[in-house]
Amino acid sequence: MNITEVMTSNVETCNLKSSCGEVANKMKSLDVGVIPICEDGKLIGLITDRDLVVNGLANNFNANTQISEMITTDVITGTKHMSVEQAADIMSQHQIRRLPIVEDGQLIGMVSLGDLAVSNASNKEAGKALEDISVPAEPTK
């Protein structure tokens, strides 16, 4: 099964000038935990609910702070040509729960573990990916 059959298209995005409050409100209204950050349609990063807390609130940033200071820019991506199994393998290998799908740098969709789980062909892969993602990280000293 091709990833385009399970990915979410028309993904809502924000840009580098978006504020923490704007991003948080968008997450709330969409009931999502991640918002892609794009400039002219090009994916340049992601911001998660965890980023807002750990990189934002914990550093005394407020709702008006631009998110450019707290986004993740080293984003693992997939392509529209990959299979559901390949996407699950990438998510498992990199321990990520969401995979942006890009074409020529442009965001065209987003795949989550939930998307993989609803695909009958990928239930096993989604379970394996979740198992690998859920392995605790080694404690830092």
Spatial CA neighbour of 4 closest among 117, 123, 120, 115? 115
Q: What is the pLDDT of residues 82-110, one digit of tens each?
A: 999 999 999 999 999 999 999 999 999 99
Residue 23, pLDDT score: 96
One-letter amino acid for residue 26 of the chain: K
Dist. CA 79–CA 100, nearest whole Å:
8
Q: Give CA–CA dist 60/7, Å, rounded.
A: 35
pLDDT tens readout for residues 124-136: 554 555 555 455 5
Under 8 Å between Cβ of 63 and 19: yes
Looking at residue 60, what is its pLDDT? 85
Dihedral (CA of 14, 94, 90, 33) sign: negative
Q: Does 132 or 36 have the greater pLDDT score?
A: 36
Query: Residues 114-121: what's their mean pLDDT?
Result: 72
Q: How far apart are CA 115 and CA 7, in angstroms?
A: 7
pTM: 0.80
Q: Is 77 left (phi over 0), alpha (psi -120 to 50) or beta?
A: beta
Q: 30 pLDDT exceeds 80?
A: yes
Nearest to 67 by CA among 92, 48, 90, 42: 48
> What are the pLDDT digits (tens) for 37-96?
999 989 999 999 999 998 888 888 888 999 998 999 999 999 999 999 999 999 999 999
Q: Which residues pair with 125 in a beta bridge?
A: none
Residue 119 pLDDT more than 50? yes
Q: What is the dihedral of CA 6, 30, 14, 2, to 10 degrees?
A: 0
- The confidence score (pLDDT) of residue 121 equals 52
